[in-house]
Amino acid sequence: MSSSPSRRILVTGGAGFIGSHVCDALVASGHMVRCMDNLATSRPENISHLEAERTFSFVEADIRSEEDCKAMVNGMEMVVHLAALGSVPRSVQDPLATHATNLTGFLNMLEAGRRAGVRRFIYASSSSVYGDSQDLPKREPQIGRPLSPYAVTKVTNEVYASVYSRLHGMDTLGLRFFNVFGERQDPEGPYAAAIPKFIRAFLRQEAPLIHGDGLQSRDFTYVGNVARVIEQAVAVTDARCTGEVFNVAFGARTTLLELVWLLREELARIDPAIGQVEPVHVAERAGDVRDSLADISKARELLGYEPTIDLRAGLRKALPWYLEHWR
Q: Which tens digits make up the pLDDT trace of 156-214?
A: 999 999 999 999 999 999 999 999 999 999 887 665 688 999 999 999 999 999 999 99
Angstrom distance (rounded) from CA 61 to CA 228: 26
pTM comes to: 0.94
- Side chain identity at residue 27, one-letter code: V
Angstrom distance (rounded) from CA 261 to CA 210: 12
The residues, any chain, with a CB within 8 Å of residue 310's CB and separated by 6 or more, are 222, 250, 252
- Side chain identity at residue 301, one-letter code: E
Q: Look at residue 190 in the predicted model and tell me its pLDDT.
A: 67
pLDDT in tens, 77-127: 999 999 999 888 899 999 999 999 999 999 999 999 999 999 999 999 999
pLDDT in tens, 244-277: 999 999 999 999 999 999 999 999 999 999 999 9
Q: Look at residue 189 in the predicted model and tell me its pLDDT.
A: 66
Domain ranges of the chain: 8-180+223-251+293-307
Angstrom distance (rounded) from CA 57 to CA 31: 12
pLDDT tops 80 at residue 69 = yes
pLDDT in tens, 143-160: 999 999 999 999 999 999
**Least confident piece of the model among 30-34, 132-136, 169-173, 306-310:** 132-136
Quick one: fold of 8-180+223-251+293-307? Rossmann fold (3.40.50)
pLDDT in tens, 14-67: 999 999 999 999 999 999 999 999 999 999 999 999 999 999 999 999 999 999
pLDDT band, residue 1 (cuts 50/70/90): very low
Angstrom distance (rounded) from CA 262 to CA 258: 6
User: Which residues are known to be catalytic?
Assistant: 150
pLDDT in tens, 210-250: 999 999 999 999 999 999 999 999 999 999 999 999 999 99
Backbone angles phi, psi at 280, to 5 degrees: -120, 135
